[in-house]
Structure 1
Amino acid sequence: MIKNSILLFSLLLIGSCGGDNEEKLTSGVSEIPEPKPTYTTRDATLSFEAFNAHFYDHDSKLYYRTTQRKQLAEGWTQAIFWDIAMDAYLRTGSKKALDLVKEIYQGGNEAYSEFNWPDVKLVNDFIYDDMMWWVISLARGYELTQNQEYLQKAISGFDYIWEEAYDTQNGGMKWSWKVKGKNACINYPTVIGAVLLYNITDDAQYLSKAKNVYSWSKKNLFESNTGRVADHKIGDSNPGFEDYTYNQGTCIGAAVMLYQATGSGSYLRDAKLAADYTKNVMSDSEGILPAEGDWNEQGVLKAIFARYLSMLISDGKQEQYLPWLRHNAATAWANRDPSRNLMYRNYKVACPTGDFQSYEASSAVGIMQACPPGKN
C-alpha cells in the first residue's frame, strides 16, 4: 500500500468500447526514435547488481528502505523488488539470479508469517492490495521454479483475499477492511493474479473471476474514451481520478492477459488506450514518465508499469511502445550516479549522491530488466 494514499483516502472519507474481434489498431503514441545514449545488456546487469549492493540485506533476505541500510522497505514493495529479481533471471538465465529469486522468497516467508494469510493481514498489517502483490509474485515464482510451495501459497492467498474483499452485492474488490472504497491497486492486480492462476492450474473459476473483476473495473475505474484509470471509487460517488503509472500498468497487464486467455480484441484495445494515455498525457513532452515517489513508496510505481507495458509489447505484439520505454531507461542510466551505478526516480536529473530510497532507485532498474536494450 502507499502510505499517502491512506491519508488521501481518510480525507476523502471526511471532507464498453469495441467488439470482440481482434484487429490491427492504430496507436495514438507519437514516434520516439531509439534513444541516444542507450543502454546495453551489460548495463542492465550492472544496474541490478548495484541496486542489490546498496539495498539488499543478505541476513533478512529482503531490501532496505534507504542507502543507509537501517530499516527494511515496506512489505508490499518487497514483492515488487522480487519481481525485478525474477525479471533479471528471465533476462540472463544465470544461476546467480535464480539463487537470489529463491533467497528472496525465504526472506518474505520468514518476515510475513510464512504467508499464513490471516496472520499476514493482522500480524503484519497487510491490506488486500499488499497481499495481492505477493500472490502475483508467488505465482510468477512458481512459473520460474516449479516450486509447489510457491503455488500453494499463491492459491491460498488469492482465495483468502477473494473471500475477504470481493463485494458479492455490487462487484469489485475492496481495498481494505480499515476504510471504505475500491481501488485500482487491488482490482486490476486481482485480475492479473486470477489469470496467472488460471494459466497455471487450468481452473476455469479463476478466469471467470478475472473477467468479473475486469468488467467491474472497466465500468467504474476506466475512461473508455481516453484510457485513463481512476485510482479509487468510494460507494456511489464518482471515481477519484489521480494519475499513477502503476494503475495504468496493472490495467494494461490485466487487459493483455485476458486478451491472451480469451482472444477478445476489446481487451487489447483497452490496453493500448491505457498505454497511450500514459505516454501522451502523463509523460512530458520528451516522453519521460512522471517522477513519482518524493521520498515515499510511489518510487516503485514505474517498475510495475514497465513490467506490464513490456507485456503489451511482447505478448500483445505492440512494438511501437518499445522505443518509448527504452528512452526512459536510457535517460535514467545516462543520469545515474556513476560512482554507485544507482538511478533515480526522476530520470531527467542527476541521481543524488547522498542517501535516498530503494523505492526511488528501483524503477529504472526494473525497466532495464523487463525491456530489452536496442541495437548499439
Structure 2
Amino acid sequence: MFFNNLLTSSLLLAATASALPAEVERRATNQYLTNSHTAITELQTFYNSPRPGFWSAGWWNTANCLTLLADLRAKDSSSFLTSITDGPNGVFKHTLNSQNKDSTGALAWDDFFDDQLWWVVALVKTYDVTKDSSFLKTANDSFNAITLNDKPSNNPCGGLANAYPSEKYLVKSSTIATVLYVEAAALLATRYPAQKTYFINQAKTQWSWITQNILIDGIMQGDALTGNPPSCGNNHAFLTYIEGVALQALVALYHATNDASYLTTADTLATKLLSGKYGMMDNNKIALEFCDNDLSCNPDTAQFKGIMMRGLRTLRDAKPSAAGGQIKSFLTKNADSIWANSRQSGTNLLGQKWAGPFALGSSQALQLSSHSSATMALVEAALANM
C-alpha cells in the first residue's frame, strides 16, 4: 500500500539518513529540536491509511498534526523532516489530496465549523511552507463555506456556532469556533491582499464579540454562551486551547492591521495565563488540563495543551518581551518535564500528564492526541530556541 510505503520510508530515513554538517551543528545546539525529531518519528507510527485522519480518527486532530509539522518545517529544512513532509508523496500534499471536498472546493468531512477552521489554519501554514496555491485556495474556499453557512439567526447570544443546526452536538455561540474564525480571517487577510479589508472586517466583527463576552479581566473565560438575550450565560471555563488560539488570533490580527494594541492585549493574556492562577498549570508551572489528574481526558481534551504552547510561542515571535520575557523559559521547562517525566521508555511515546508520571489512555485515538499534543510542546520549545 502507498501509505505503508510512505510510513516505512519516512521512518527508515529518520533512522538511517546521514545528517548534513549544518544539521548536526543545529541539532547539537538545540536539544529540543533533536527531541522533536524523535517524537515526530513516533508520531509517524500513527500515520496510516484510514481516512479522514491520517494520524487519528479525529479529523481536527489530524489538522493539528499537520500544523505542528508546518510550524517546524518553516524553520527546519533538515533531511529528516523534509523526507516526511515534502514532495508529491510527502504528508503535506498527500494529506490535502485525500480530503473530501464539496462542489465549491471547501473541505467537507464533517459538519463541525470548528473542525473546518482548524483545517483552514493548518492549510494556510502549509501554504506558507510549500508556496503551493492549492493549500491556500482550499483554505479560502473552506472559510467562505463557513461564513455562508453559519447563520447569525442560529446564535441568539452572538458569535459562531460550532456546527450546522442539525448537528447532534451543536454548541451555539461557541468560543473556540469564534476565535478560530478570527485567526483564520486574519491569516487570510495577509495572503489575499485584494480582499484584505473584507477579511479584516470579518475578524474584527467576531473579535468584538469575544472582547464583550469572553475576554474577561484580560483572559479568556468560557467555552460558550448559552440561553437567550438578555440572559446569555457564561460558565467561565478555562481551557488551555482557547487561550492558545486567542493568542494566535491576536498576533494574526496584529500582522493584518499593524495595530500594536492587539499585541498589548495578547501580552496581558499571556501574563495572566502564566501567573498560574487559573488552573491551567500546576504549582511548578507545568501545563495542566482540567482532566489530566484523574486521566479523564478524551481524544479532544487530550489535544488541548499543545495548542496553548503554540499560541505562546507565536506571541513570543511577535513580541519577545511579552509576559515579562518568561515565555521561552515556560516552553523549555514544559518540554524538559515531558522528556524526563512523561515519556515511555523504549518507544518514546509521550504521555498525557506532562509533570509525570507517564500515563496514557488505552485507545489509539487518545494515545495519538496525548502524544501529538506533547510533541507540539517539544516543537514550540525547539522553535523558541532557534
Q: Aligned residue for 1:144?
A: 129
Q: Which amino acid aligns with 1:271?
A: A
Letter in structure 2 aligned against 1:198: A
Distance 1:61 1:209, change over 3 A: closer
**Does the CA contact (< 8 Å) of 1:295 and 1:360 recur in 2?**
no
Instruction: Tell me what 2:76 maps to.
Output: 92
2:210 paired with 1:217: yes
**What CA distance in whole angstroms lies between the structure 2 residues aligned with 1:275 and 1:238?**
25
Structure 1 residues 188 and 205, CA, compared in 2 at 3 Å: closer, same or farther? same
Q: 1:93 to 1:106 in 2, by over 3 A?
A: closer
Deviation of 1:185 after TM superposition, in Å, equals 1.1
Pairwise CA RMSD: 2.7
Identity of matched residues, %: 21
Unaligned 5+ residue runs, structure 1? 1-37, 65-71
2:120–2:139 contact (8 Å) kept in structure 1: yes
- What is the one-letter code of the residue matched to 2:327? Y
- Equivalent residue letter for 1:221: I
Shift of 1:302: 1.4
1:134 Cα deviation from its structure 2 partner:
0.5
Alignment of 1:63-82 (within 5 A): 63-64=54-55, 72-82=56-66
Tell me, in whole angstroms, the C-alpha distance in 2 between the residues paired with 1:43 and 1:309. Answer: 20
Structure number with the bigger relative contact order (C-alpha 8 A, sep ≥ 6) is: 1
Is 1:289 matched with 2:287? yes
Is the partner of 2:326 in helix, strand or coil?
A: helix
Contact 2:351–2:358 at 8 Å: present in 1 too?
Answer: yes
CA contact (8 A) 2:337 2:354 kept: yes
What is residue 349 of structure 1 aligned with on the other side? 356
Shift of 1:106: 4.6
Residue 381 of structure 2 corresponds to: 371
Give the C-alpha shift of residue 296 in structure 1: 2.6
Q: Determine the C-alpha separation between the residues in 2 that align with 1:116 and 1:274.
A: 40
Preserved CA contact (<8 Å) 1:256 1:312: yes
- Deviation of 1:257 after TM superposition, in Å, equals 1.7
Report if the CA contact (8 A) 1:183-1:233 is conserved. yes
Q: Name the residue aligned to 1:22.
A: none
Given that 1:255 and 1:267 are in contact with CA atoms closer than 8 Å, whether structure 2 keeps it comes out as: yes
Give the CA deviation at 1:89.
Answer: 1.6
Q: Secondary structure at the match of 1:187?
A: helix
Q: Within the alignment, does 1:42 sit opposite 2:39 as a pair?
A: no
**Aligned partners of 1:109 and 1:115 also within 8 Å:** no
Alignment match, 1:242: 237
Amino acid at match of 1:144: V
Q: How far apart in 2 are the matches of 1:187 and 1:354? A: 30
Unaligned runs of 5+ in 2: 1-29
Q: CA deviation at 1:118?
A: 8.5
Number of positions where the alignment pairs a residue of Structure 1 with one of Structure 2: 327
| Alpha-carbon offset, residue 252 of structure 1 | 1.0
- Could you tell me whether the CA contact under 8 Å between 1:62 and 1:104 is conserved in 2? no
Report the alpha carbon displacement of residue 354 of structure 1 after superposing the two structures with TM.
Answer: 8.3
Counterpart contact for 1:131–1:157, Cα < 8 Å = yes
Q: Give the TM-score normalised by the residue count of structure 1.
A: 0.78
Distance 1:92 1:353, change over 3 A: same
Change in Cα spacing, 1:94 to 1:299, as seen in structure 2 (3 Å) is: same
Identify if the C-alpha distance between structure 1 residues 313 and 115 changes in structure 2 by more than 3 Å, giving closer, same or farther. Answer: farther
Instruction: State the 1:140 CA deviation.
Output: 1.1
The secondary structure found in structure 1 opposite 2:234 is coil
Judge conservation of contact 2:123–2:139 (CA < 8 Å) in 1: yes
Q: Does the Cα contact within 8 Å between 2:251 and 2:262 map onto a contact in 1?
A: yes
The 1-side partners of 2:335 and 2:247 are apart by: 19
Provide TM-score, normalisation by structure 2.
Answer: 0.77
In 2, Cα distance between equivalents of 1:308 and 1:248 = 8
**Match 1:312 to one of 311, 315, 321:** 315
C-alpha contact (below 8 Å) 2:96/2:135 kept by paired residues: no
Shift of residue 92, structure 1, vs aligned partner: 2.0
